[in-house]
Structures are given as structure tokens and as C-alpha cells.
Structure 1
Amino acid sequence: MIGMNRKSSSPGLKDVPELMHHIQSLLPVKEAARTGVLSKSWLHAWSTIPNLRFHEHMKLADVDRSLVRYLRDDIPIERFELKIDIQNQKSAALAQKWIRSVATKTSLKELSLTISPSGASLHLPEELLSGENLIKITVSASQGPKPNSIWMTTTHHPKCVTSLRELHFSCVTVSEQVLHDIFSSCSSLVKIELILCSQGLNTIKVKNLHCLRQLQIVTSDGGSTAFEISHLKSLRMLGCNVRMNGRSKRLSIPPLINGHSISLGSGVTELTLGGGMIMDDASLDMIVKLGLPFLESLTLNMACWTRASFPFTSASIKRFSLLGCTSRLVDLVYVNAPKLLLFSFSGKIMPCFVFPYSTLEQIEFRLRFDIDRLDVSFFLKMRESLRLSSKCRVHITTFSYNLPMPLVDIYDLRRKLRFPPATNVQQLLFETTGDECMWESSPFFDAFFEICHPDHVSARPDSMLKHKNHFCKLIVMEVLEKNMNKTTTTSYWPHYLKNVQIERPHNKKWETLTDSDTSFLEKLAPEHVPVQFKLNWW
């Protein structure tokens, strides 16, 4: 019995280094390194940890020394994460050597590269794709001083890992040969992301990948790269965004969606399209012709939309987002979607929204505009839109830059309002940019609280003038001081407030706002930290 107990306990002892490695992998690098002072076992665990993370502030000599030791002693490397600033050819050569030596290890499962080409370019070695047990590759580059600073090409057919399940390339110039070799040999791919990697490509072909579930492609070449997407029977999510340059946005240039060949299976439930893919009614017809009976989530980037109205019909979608609507042309958004539950809109305009037959549970608005666009019409459209759903969330960012404040006629707004203030706005997020204290005398909040009484307000300091928080000062002037210049016979919003609660930044507790809080509200606010309020209305 004693012998059996000893034998049964031995696997647990073998698991101790693995447990130490797991604990160290969860800690920040500096904290994980400090565990080496606990005991020789912890020091050995740290010196043989299979998850290597090197950030851009580490000395190149230290990184090189560590990798030489791992390779010399044949210490397994399962995950390799390298963040490096390519300042010169020396650092580029070192990065190539490290990637080539680590990527070929049979123990490697995940490889992540974050590259900043500040002073030199980097040619990724072919060995990047050769790991026998590699599951995930991520290569992300920032924009360098020259275009195509990070690239990957080949003159022959490289050996590609067949076990690869995830591929993420961002701002990496990849040749068509490399992409063809990857997609033709990596049949186990489940997720593909190609973000701004199409420079110089005629076609991106993604075909016959029967395990692929997620595919996202973003191009910025004005639509010169065509997509050929077909025979992806397991695909559930597709995202395609053709970013257009200024010249290609002219209305005389026809839509570019005819240059793409996209055939999707019926299993797609999430679709994201944008840029040159969404320009006019023909673009919407393309979505209908895709024949996606189980499509539940649709996101459209409207940066290139050229029509005054947006009509769309879908029998299946439950979540619908229109993003980046910048054109003043758009005046009407008509969505016939009886199963729609969530609608999200962001842009620099406020069109009229019509949702027949839908049972919306939540609607979200994220609006970013110059202050000269605020008028009575804006608030009337906003009030009508708040009637569409039982729950609403509003995020407004305004840009001033010393422009004159808008002259919103509050009395005209009250005359034209057909409904009392909405009580279904759960949250208002408000921030200003470049506002020289003009909001304190602005009718914006007066007009906004005429159309709704939000439960929660998150007010950020001005993004340029960090110490300005206009909603805080408004609360002080109008709520605490009860500005009696406004007659009580007029329906004025502070008189509908029971009380205001404020969240203390230091302890995250809610307290009722009192006169003693005046000095706190006028102090410098921490940068980017919003002040949170709860408004309790009669």
C-alpha cells in the first residue's frame, strides 16, 4: 500500500514545474521574473518557461542571449511573443534570425509579432510558416516611414504548416504566391484576418477551406484588389471593407462590388461590409442575392454611401449597425426587419429612422459632429428616434474649435415637440473637443433634457482642454444653485430632478450630490477619466 501511494503521488510532483510555468505566464514579465528569488525550483521554472514574451523596451542583446540559451539547451518554446522596433538593419537582421530559429521548433504552437519599422524595413522569412505544430500566427505592423516596410514574398512554394488554425496579418505586404500557398495547404484554418495587406495584389482568393468559420479582409487600395470567396461550407462570419481614397469617392466612379466574386453558404450568421462594398442600392441588392437565411448580425460602414435614403429589408437579422455615416445626403433610414432587436448608428448626421414591424429592445447612437449642426431639427429627430426602442444609449462628441455656439430656439423646440421627455435613455455619454468654456452658456443641455431624462450621465473632460468638464459645472450652476432666473411656471428640466448622485473616483461609491461637492467639481479632472452621475427624476 505504501509503495502504491508513493507511485500514485509521483505524477503530481511532475506537474509542479508545469504549474509554476502556468502561474508565471499569468503575471506581467517583471513580476514573473521576480518569482525566481522564491526558491531554486521557481528560478529553474522561470529560466525554462515555454512562453516567451519580449517587449520593445528590452535590450536586443538580452533577447538574443535568452534565445541562444533556449536553442542551445533545446528548451521547448510553445508561445513566442516579440514586440520590436526595427530602427536599423542590425535590428532587422536580428529579428529575421530570431523568427527563423523559433518558428522551426516543433514545440511552437503560437507565434505573435508586433513590429514598428521606424528606421528600416523587414522581410519576414519563409520559415514563419514552417512550424510542424503551429496553431496560431499573428503579425501586426505599424505604418513605417516608407510604404511596404514589412513584407513577405517567395520565389518558390514554401512549406506551409498543415496544423495552422488562425492567421492574423495586419499592415504586412504579402505576395499572392504566399497567400495561395497558405490557403491551399493550410486546410485546418478556422480564422483568417487580412488587414491592409493587399498592396499590389490583383486578387485575394479564399476557397475550399472547409473548416473556416471567420474571415475578415480590409483593403485600402481603392478597390483594385478583387475578392474571390467560395466553397467555405463552415463559414459563420464574413467581414469585407474596401477603403476608398479621396479620388475614388467621386460619384462618377461606378461601384466596385461587380469586381468581386462572393458566394457564401447558408450558415453565415454575421456579415460586415464597408467602403466600396456599400455605395448605393446595388450594394444592398448584392447582400440580398447572397441568400443568407440565417443572417442575424449585419454591420455596414457607410463612409462611401451616395444616396439620400437607405432602404433595407431582411427577414432574419436581429442586430443591425450602420457606422461612419458622414454624408449630409442621408435623410431617411428605412429598415424592414421584423426580428430586429438591436440597432446601432454612428456618424456625423441624424437622419429620420423608420422601423416598421420591428420589436426593437435597444437602440444606440454614437454621434460626432461640429457644433454648427445642432439645431431644433436635430433634437426633434432625436426625440422621434428614442421612441423606437424600450432601451436607448446615446454617445455624443462635439467639436468646437472656437466656432460660435449654435442658437437653438428652446421655445420653438417646445412648440414642435409632440411627446414628453423620453424616460428610456439608460445612459448619456458626453464629451467635447476644443471647447473654450462656451458650453456653460449653451442651450445644448437645456434642449437635450427637453427631449429625454437619462438615468445615467458619463461626462468626460474636454479631450483637448483636460480640466474642462462642462456637465459638472452645469450641475453646479443649475441643480445645486437652482438658478431662479428660470421661472417656475416654465417647464425647466432641473425642477424635474429629485436628486443627483455622483460616483466618487477614489472609492467608486455613489453619494448624493450636495453643496459641499462644488469645490470637487471645479478641480482639475484626471485626464480621460469621466465623472459619473445618476439622475433621479420626478
Structure 2
Amino acid sequence: MNVGKKTAEMQRGNVDRISDLPDFILHDILLILDTKEAGRTSVLSKRWYRAWSSIPVLVFQPRYFKIDVCKARNDESEDDKDKLQRFVKFVDGTMLRYSILEFKIRKMYLEVLIVDEELVNLVDTWIKIAVLNQIEELEIQIHGNIDYVLPEFLFCAKSLKVLKCRRIELPYYEIMELVSLTHLTLEPISVDEDMLQRIISYCPLVELDITHEYLDEVSLPWMRKVDGRVEGCGSGTMQSNLQESPLQKFVFCSNRVYLPWPWKMNAMPLKNLKTVEISCATITDDIVYELISLEKLALNSCVRLKYVKISSLSLKDFQIHDSPDFMAELLEVTLDTPNLLEFKYNCKVETSLSLIRVLDRCNAQFSPFMFDIDILTTDWFVELKQFLKDTKLFKSLEMNLWHVDPIVVEEDQLRSFNTGRPYKLSELKLVETCLWDSTLYMESSLTTFLDALFWCCHPDVLSITTNSEISATKSILSILGKKVDCWKDPLKSIESP
């Protein structure tokens, strides 16, 4: 009889086939939705409630309970305390349910404001439940005046593949069973360097990303040449695994421009290392030279760089960004990179760029470094145009709009310079930053800015992107819609928000 009823429903097309899907498919559907939308599905049926309540990805953020962690950190109002208690109760109840029912946790993001030692113990308990439930990806972000120390049992998580920690302490433990850990991101308030060395040496790390202000010196597990012999960094059993290191990507940001470079390194013998990104560190030219075996190298705000000379057959992606610090010394960049495919250059127009061997098909983008420019003048645009024509490499030019005022450029002055036709570009990118405020800039200044840019270069495509609420896009489009000067060839397309 039930079979007949089901057949009749199927004939009428009323069967809910989605609810009959297995849990792992329903989980994938729920993961596409945001947290609120996923939660609403729980009222559809018991089947959907079970799927929602056992989803293997857990995201715990105070903002869902309208908690501003920056404000609540120093505000002890009863309203904030009540919100925090409800948040903690929700997290604790969820983790308890997953523990009792042994639901697998594939990924967990935990952001929490720690106000007392009791909450420290609760966070330890939540992490322990995640470890017991075979956590694969764990991201922790701690707020508050009480320091949080990573618990020892976390380093027994054999299933853990990705670990991201912010505002934590990394202590030293003898135990090390992170046999699956491939990606490690650390932004610690303190770090035991011996423990970090153990993680790097014993775990199958593919990617290491560390941001720290007080790191003294750490030896990464690669080989170095000493008196013609190759020796390993580290000691004991650590040395036997050095040549097998799977590390492919290393990212370092000091957060402070004057932090000395803390890593003993010679990357050439490290066979698997392909990408190095360094920000705000006092590395010197000789250290850059040691990185020529890479496929990707990014140097951001490294104030001690002066003459960057790179000769590499393997390098395919190179990015260099000058530093806004007044102590920056970058004078010259020389590239002998015949296989370079991507190049982003964010330096002053007066910085010398020498190209020995670079592919014509290299996707090269120039973003003029302008933090130290108070006024844009005719001379600056002349330098920009000459730089583009001398290098003959860049396909795109990116400009930040918050530099457009004050601008002192006269049309007659531009015409008086015999610099030839504008440089041909594939794309001109105009970027509105959060510093842009169109109410502070006259349309005449924006018009002058665009006139001077088109005098320097002819783009096929003009693209405009914005991350500010007050947009200049309408003004730009209005200006471009008016009659243009003779040096403004028609654009093939304009891309805007």
C-alpha cells in the first residue's frame, strides 16, 4: 500500500528527491550557502535538520552574536557579557553534540574573545574534541588580554592537514605527531624557536606562512655549503630528513620594517622549494641572489634592498614592491630571466630597471610607487612616459586614484615635450582606494589627471575598480564621454563596476 502511494506521488511529481540524497551530498549543498541560509534549511524536515546539525565544517565567529571583539575587549557592559555567554554556550553545546554523536569535523574556524581562565579551559576542550573527531583543517584566532597557549594534544592530531593560528603562543613540546600537516600559518604573540624548528623538520610541510615581530633566528631545514661540503641545518635525526623536505612555499612577514632577517637559508639545494614571499624584512641583495632556483619570488617593502640582480632560468613569477619607509634604498633592478611569465613592478619611475633577457610575452604590470610624491607635475608624467618607452615591456599600468590631487600639469607643457607617440598598453587600471573621497577633488583635477595619463600611454582597455563607498567612476565615465584631445585614441572597451 505504501508502494502504491509512493508511486502515485511520483506520478504527480511530488517526491522530494533532494532529501533522499546521502548526507555527504547534502553537506556539500549546505556548504555552498552562507551560515544563516544553511541554518534555515533545518526547518524543512527532520532529514534536513540532521544534515545541518552534522555538517563537517564549523564556523564560530562572535559577529554572528553581534559581538564587536575590538570594543568588547575593553568594555565590560552587561550587554556584552550576555552576548559573550550566549556565544560560548552555543559553541560549547555544538562541540558537545559532535563529541557525543561522533560527527566527523573536517574543518573548524574558531574566533573567540578570552576573558578568563575558565574560557581558556573551554577552548582547550573544543580543540580536543576536534582532534578526536579527526579534524583536517583548524583555524584559531584569539582576542583578549589573556594569552592562549596551544595545547599539547593538538600536536597529536594525525589527521590535521592545515593549521592556522593567530594571536597564540607556540610553546615547546616533545610530542610531534602531525604526520599529515602540509600547511602551517602562524601569527603568534610568542614562539619557541626550537618547537618551530621541530615542526618544520618533522612535518610534511608544503607551505609555511609566518608573521612575527620578535623572532630571533631560525634555521630552515635546507642544506648549506660549508668549506665546499654540504651540511644540514639542525642536529641528530633531524639531519637525515633534510634532503627530503617537501617545503614548496615559504611566506614571511615581520610586521615591522626594521626586524632583522631571522632565517639561515640557502635555498639552492632545496629541491622542492618553488615560492618565497618576503614582506617587511631587512633582507639584503646577497640573500636575494641565493633565491635564484625559485619559480616565484615576491619582495614587499624590504628596506635594505639596493641593487637587486636576478639571473635565473627557473623564475616564472617575480613581484617587487618598494617600501614607503624613508630608509628605503632601492636604486636598481636587473633581470636576466628568459622564462619569466608574470612580472609586477611597484617602484619609483626613477628606479633603474635593466632587462637583459625577458620574454616579450611576459605579462608585465607597472604600478608606479608614489607614496613620497606630494604633487603630480608635468615632469613626473614625462618621466613615466619615458620609462615605459625605454623598458618596452609592460602590458598594463595600474594607478591609484588617491594620488590625483594636487596635480600641476598644463596641456601646453605636455605638448612642448617632444617625446613621440604615447606608449601602447593593453590595459590601464584605475583603482580607487579607501583613501579616495571624490568630494575633495574637483572634476577639473580628474580631467587633467586622465589627460596626462593618455598623453603617456594609449590603452586598449580602461578598467576601473573600487573599494570605496564614494566612487569616482561616474565622473571618469562622464569625462571620457566628452570630446577628447588628439592624443586620445578610441578605447576598445571600458570595464567598470
TM range (shorter): 0.7 to 0.9
Alignment partners' CA distance in 1, 2:256 and 2:152: 31
- The 1:161/1:338 distance shift into structure 2, 3 A limit, reads closer
- Give the conservation status (yes or no) of the 8 Å contact 2:209–2:250: no
* Matched-pair contact (CA < 8 Å) for 2:422–2:456: yes
Distance 1:245 1:265, change over 3 A: closer
Contact 1:431 1:462 in 2 (8 A): yes
The match for 2:207 among 186, 191, 199 is 191
Cα distance, 1:449 vs structure 2: 0.9
C-alpha distance in structure 1 between counterparts of 2:261 and 2:480, whole Å: 53
Partners of 2:476 and 2:24 in 1: CA distance:
57
The residue number in structure 2 matching 1:321 is 319
Flag the 1:132–1:321 CA change in 2: closer, same or farther, 3 A: closer
Q: 1:376 to 1:335 in 2, by over 3 A?
A: farther
Alignment map for 1:36-185 (pairs within 5 Å): 36-56=42-62, 57-58=64-65, 59-103=87-131, 105=132, 107-141=133-167, 150-154=168-172, 156-185=173-202
Tell me, what secondary structure is at the counterpart of 1:423? strand
Range with greater deviation from structure 2 (174-183 or 94-103) = 174-183
- Contact 1:278–1:300, Cα closer than 8 Å, also in 2: no
Cα shift readout 1:272-312 (whole Å, capped 9, x = no counterpart): 345445334x3444345xxx2xx3333223531353x5444
Query: CA–CA distance in 2 between the matches of 1:60 and 1:414?
Result: 67
Residue matched to 1:237 = 249
Q: Secondary structure at the match of 1:440?
A: helix
Q: Does 1:455 align with 2:455?
A: no
Which residue of structure 1 lines up, in the alignment, with residue 83 of structure 2? none
Could you tell me which amino acid in structure 2 is paired with residue 33 of structure 1? G
- CA–CA distance in 2 between the matches of 1:462 and 1:189? 35
1:162-193 deviation line (CA, Å, top 9, x unaligned): 2333332223533234324434543x333333
Q: Distance in 1 between matches of 2:479 and 2:201?
A: 67
Per the TM alignment, residue 444 of structure 1 is displaced from its structure 2 partner at its CA by 2.3
Cα separation, partners in 2 of 1:502 and 1:419, compared to 1, 3 Å: closer
Distance 2:39 2:127 in 1: 23
Q: Output the CA distance in 1 between the equivalents of 2:418 and 2:463.
A: 26
SS at match of 1:426: strand
SS in 2 for 1:455: strand
Q: Quickly say closer, same or farther: Cα 1:35–1:243, change in 2 above 3 A.
A: closer
- Per the normalisation by structure 2, the TM-score is 0.73
Does the aligned pair in 1 maintain the 2:105–2:136 contact within 8 Å? no
Q: Check the 8 A contact 1:36/1:44 in 2, yes or no.
A: yes
Superposition pairs of residues 361-400 of structure 1, within 5 angstroms: 361=361, 362-369=363-370, 372-387=374-389, 388-389=391-392, 392-399=395-402
1:437 aligns with 2:441: yes
Return closer, same or farther for 1:390/1:399 CA change in 2, 3 Å cut-off.
closer
The CA distance in 2 between the partners of 1:273 and 1:133, in whole Å, is 30
For residue 300 of structure 1, what is the amino acid of its counterpart?
A: L
Please state if 1:206 is matched with 2:234: no
Q: Identify the range of structure 1 (379-388 vs 199-208) with the bigger mean alpha-carbon deviation.
A: 199-208
Which residue identity is paired with 1:314? S
SS of structure 2 residue aligned to 1:356: strand
Q: Which structure's residues are more often helix, by fraction?
A: 2
**Corresponding residue SS for 2:322:** strand
- Other-structure match for 2:77: none
Counterpart CA distance in 1 for 2:187 and 2:162 is: 14
* Counterpart residue identity of residue 231, structure 1: Q
Change in Cα spacing, 1:45 to 1:119, as seen in structure 2 (3 Å) is same
**Secondary structure at the residue paired with 1:231?**
helix
Letter in 2 for 1:374: L
**Structure 2: tracts of 5 or more residues without a match:** 1-18, 66-86, 224-240
Is the partner of 2:368 in helix, strand or coil? strand
Compute the displacement of 1:69 (Å).
Answer: 2.2
User: Structure 1's 183 and 40: CA in aligned 2 closer, same or farther, altered over 3 A?
Assistant: same
Amino acid at match of 1:397: N
> What residue number does 2:264 align with?
260
- The alignment covers a number of residue pairs equal to 431
SS at match of 2:320: strand
- The equivalent residue for 1:220 is none
CA distance in 2, matches of 1:26, 1:422: 45
What RMSD, in angstroms, separates the aligned Cα atoms of the two structures?
A: 3.7
Letter in 1 for 2:358: S
Counterpart position of 1:333: 333
Residues 342-353 of structure 1 aligned to structure 2 (within 5 Å):
342-347=342-347, 350-353=350-353
1:369–1:398 Cα contact (<8 Å) kept = no
